[in-house]
Structure 1
Amino acid sequence: MLTTDGAVLAATPALQGQRAVYTLPPGSQAPVRQKAADTVVNGEVRVHGSRATVGGRPVTIITLTTTDLLSQVNETFARLLLVGVPCILLLACGTVWLVVGRALRPVERIRRSVTEITAADLSRRVPQPDTHDEIGDLARTMNDMLTRLDDSAARQRRFTADASHELRSPLAAIRTALEVGLAHPETAPWPEVARRAVRQSERLETLVHELLVLARSDDRQLVTRRRRVDLGELVEEVRANSAAPRVPVGIDRARTGVMVVGDAEHLSRMVRNVLDNAIRHARHAVQVSVLDAPPDQVRIEIADDGPGVPPEERERVFDRFVRLDASRERTSGSSGLGLAIAKEIATAHGGHITFDEAPDGGALVLITLPRTAAE
């Protein structure tokens, strides 16, 4: 503690009897070092000065703090950082490596399993952990995808095999008829041979056209043109343009127009395929009804009085190349694709088609379509 003229009023024991080592000039807040400090103050110090009034007398208070302890703390902390930070980084990296490696080990097993799965064998599945986290969801999703791919590949193989067989039959019939005629050219009934070849060619052309329709349906390109279609008029047109049926076909239309939005050509094909199937199996008559199905649907009902379809076969009958009575179907020239195409057309228009039992005990086909097909 100093007076205004620099005289020492009080000092710490280490500075007792010494002159002022620091002074605070008037109007300044920065203490000034004096020559007396050279003998008593060693090393670096921090100095702070302030003015105060004690007993009504203005005084100056100078405080000094050595920085040796702070330097020691800084040096010790720096040494600890130099040694501790690398150790902490190594420990953190090792922990992260172990944790991430353990977490990604199932992903590596999934990756190895996927690389071993080929198109020739889609029955294999990736290992599925019992956890309910993202990796478990990934494995379950991949197994579901593999199941769908396996089913699709199996259907494609069956379809290819059936299509090859169906195409081979008319080709073999044409070739056999021609070879027999060529073996006996003078006595062969060439008009009959030509008629048989024409019938088989027509059957072959129909089959190829049906296969192309199914191929477009698989590519989701079946319905490309949409317009308003009156189902009652469409059914009347299908009956009028068909060959004379072997049994009567009655049509019951709603008084007002039953309208849908879709491809008129494919809708006609759908009705014609189902109607031909009903006529082929009916004993005495076929009845077609076109009516509303509130709130926002329309329905075509085609009923026959034939033997009907067993309940266990009502789903399978829409599969491709399926014939419940193979011998009769082949004789009639059916390829087993008509109902499959009808189902694909109904699905492409946002509807569905099912089999049920008719009131007379025969088959009842229900075609349900939305009033406005899905865009």
Structure 2
Amino acid sequence: MTVRTRVTVVAGAALTAAVALGLVIMYLVQLGSARTTIDNQLRTYATQIEQSGQSGRWPSPLPASPLDANAEAQVLAADGTTVLAATRGLAEYGAVYTLAPGSDTPVRQSAADRGLGGELRAYATHTTVDGRSVDIVTLTTTTSLGQINETFTRLLLIGIPTILLLASGTVWLVVGRALRPVEQIRRTTTEISAADLSRRVPEPTAHDEIGELARTMNGMLARIEDSAVRQRRFVADASHELRTPLAAIRTTLEVGLAHPQRAPWREIAERVMRQSSRLESLVEQLLLLARSDDRHLVQARSRVAVEPLLREVCASTAPTRVPVVLRPATAQADVLGDAEQLERLVRNILDNAIRHARSRVTLGIDTVAPDTLAIEIADDGPGIPAQERDRVFDRFIRLDTSRERGSGTSGLGLGLAKEIAAAHGGTITISDAPGGGAMVRIILPRAAD
């Protein structure tokens, strides 16, 4: 069953049950009200009959009821069967109802079945009139209760099916109209393929749940499209980067094999080793980026002292054309994270600073903020334009428009640094260094004392 059918069935059944319950309650209320009205009229009539015999003699026939033209009455002796007086309609009848001693419920007798038609409603009471104990019985042949029953039966047999049809039809139309945007969303979604993720589902103008669903789905499609575009670009760039060292290795070996007797095999081996190292580094960075995409970049966390980590990075950095100056920290600064990944984070940014510095690179810690610390790496190179400072952290991005690869860089170092910082709850910002050049600040949360 479709949602439309289920809602129609449930809503129609619920509405029909509610109407039926309302009719039953109304029937019971009307039936009780009619019975109460008839009983009050009969009670008032009995009081009138009692007053008519206070003179010691009963009128013959007994007076009629001013409230109900169909009402009849009998006055019975103390034995409960002898009729002392009766209205005109019961003059030739014996006791039609009797009242047992100590009871207030009249008992129907066979005399009532001889000529009294219709539904009978009776009232009886023990009383004393002019010193004599008598029973006064009043009754009426009324059709009001039968009319109520007939009306209720008609409503059940005709009104309930009609209400069910009208309610089901209305719910079917309303639900169909409400679900029409959902059907449009479904059709559009089935037409969207991996080859074309630019399409979006139609968004209803109404700000309801379906509108929110459409907007949420379009946001999801936008994220999927962006992810697919980034993935295709990543695969293309990675393939290009991997192809370069592989092509260099193959070309070098082909040249050597073409002239095996004259080839400088030692030089060839050194070139192959350099390209292999470059290829190994690239594959390692790609694997780390894949782990960062799966949120598995940081496997275990521990307390890491930042200043010893910076000293280790400086000590293990190969001698370069520019010196790296480590500013001493003024206070103990610890972070919670993976020491190996944090070292890779600092080293990637430091290598980039060394590559662009003219004469010096400065490395230090800023612990001004109470809950964060900043690792500052500054160089005196040409700096990074403000409009490019966010783009340099994208994968396979080089600001050198010629994409010259003589430096051996792949454009993954800063992108990986950004992922490592994010995995530790930190950020990386770039600004101008005080003496010119670029200042990179790695902001990390401090470990609790």
TM-score by length of 2: 0.79
User: 1:204, 1:28 → 2: CA distance?
Assistant: 111
What residue in structure 1 maps to residue 63 of structure 2? none
Match of 1:2 among 76, 81, 104: 76
SS in 1 for 2:133: strand
Cα pair 2:331 2:367 within 8 Å, conserved: no
1:32 Cα offset (Å): 3.6
Q: Is residue 345 from structure 1 mapped to residue 420 from structure 2 by the alignment? A: yes
User: 1:94, 1:53 → 2: CA distance?
Assistant: 66
1:278 Cα offset (Å): 0.4
TM-score by length of 1: 0.94
What residue in structure 2 maps to residue 45 of structure 1? 120
What residue in structure 2 maps to residue 288 of structure 1? 363
SS in 1 for 2:364: strand
Comparing 229-238 with 43-52, which one deviates more in the overlay?
43-52
Match of 1:325 among 372, 386, 400: 400
Match of 1:93 among 141, 156, 168: 168
- After superposition, residues 153-172 of structure 1 pair within 5 angstroms as 153-172=228-247
SS in 2 for 1:293: coil
1:81 Cα offset (Å): 2.2
User: 1:313, 1:225 → 2: CA distance?
Assistant: 33
Q: Is residue 200 from structure 1 mapped to residue 257 from structure 2 by the alignment? A: no
Q: For residue 178 of structure 2, what is the amino acid of its counterpart?
A: A
After TM superposition, which residue ranges in structure 1, 4 or more long, deviate above 3 angstroms? Answer: 5-13, 16-19, 27-30, 32-40, 53-58, 326-329
Residues 37 and 173 of structure 1: CA distance in aligned 2, closer, same or farther (over 3 Å) = closer
SS in 1 for 2:374: strand
Deviation string for 1:315-335 (max 9, x for gaps)? 000000111125586111111
Aligned pairs, number: 373
Cα pair 1:297 1:370 within 8 Å, conserved: yes
Comparing 252-261 with 347-356, which one deviates more in the overlay?
252-261
Match of 2:285 among 210, 214, 218: 210
Cα pair 1:49 1:63 within 8 Å, conserved: yes
Residues 254 and 312 of structure 1: CA distance in aligned 2, closer, same or farther (over 3 Å) = same
User: 2:296, 2:249 → 1: CA distance?
Assistant: 33
Match of 2:439 among 350, 361, 364: 364
User: 1:26, 1:362 → 2: CA distance?
Assistant: 119
Q: What's the RMSD between the two structures over aligned residues?
A: 1.9
Cα pair 1:253 1:291 within 8 Å, conserved: no
1:256 Cα offset (Å): 2.4
Residues 36 and 346 of structure 1: CA distance in aligned 2, closer, same or farther (over 3 Å) = closer
Residues 213 and 32 of structure 1: CA distance in aligned 2, closer, same or farther (over 3 Å) = closer
- After superposition, residues 69-80 of structure 1 pair within 5 angstroms as 69-80=144-155
Q: Is residue 147 from structure 1 mapped to residue 222 from structure 2 by the alignment? A: yes
Q: Is residue 189 from structure 1 mapped to residue 264 from structure 2 by the alignment? A: yes
Match of 1:238 among 294, 303, 313: 313
Determine which structure has more spread, i.e. the larger CA radius of gyration. 2
Q: Is residue 113 from structure 1 mapped to residue 178 from structure 2 by the alignment? A: no
Over the matched positions of the two proteins, sequence identity in percent amounts to: 66
User: 1:181, 1:338 → 2: CA distance?
Assistant: 33
SS in 1 for 2:341: helix
User: 1:179, 1:246 → 2: CA distance?
Assistant: 34
SS in 2 for 1:42: coil
SS in 1 for 2:440: strand
Q: For residue 173 of structure 2, what is the amino acid of its counterpart?
A: L
- For structure 1, list consecutive stretches of 5 or more residues without a partner in the other structure: none
1:75 Cα offset (Å): 3.0
Q: For residue 171 of structure 2, what is the amino acid of its counterpart?
A: V
Comparing 62-71 with 119-128, which one deviates more in the overlay?
62-71
User: 1:137, 1:158 → 2: CA distance?
Assistant: 31
Q: Is residue 179 from structure 1 mapped to residue 254 from structure 2 by the alignment? A: yes
Cα pair 2:378 2:433 within 8 Å, conserved: yes
Residues 151 and 328 of structure 1: CA distance in aligned 2, closer, same or farther (over 3 Å) = closer
Cα pair 2:203 2:211 within 8 Å, conserved: yes
Deviation string for 1:13-54 (max 9, x for gaps)? 422464432221323444344454344423542333222344
Cα pair 2:298 2:423 within 8 Å, conserved: yes
Match of 2:208 among 103, 123, 133: 133
SS in 1 for 2:326: strand
- After superposition, residues 284-323 of structure 1 pair within 5 angstroms as 284-323=359-398
1:57 Cα offset (Å): 4.3
User: 1:288, 1:38 → 2: CA distance?
Assistant: 118
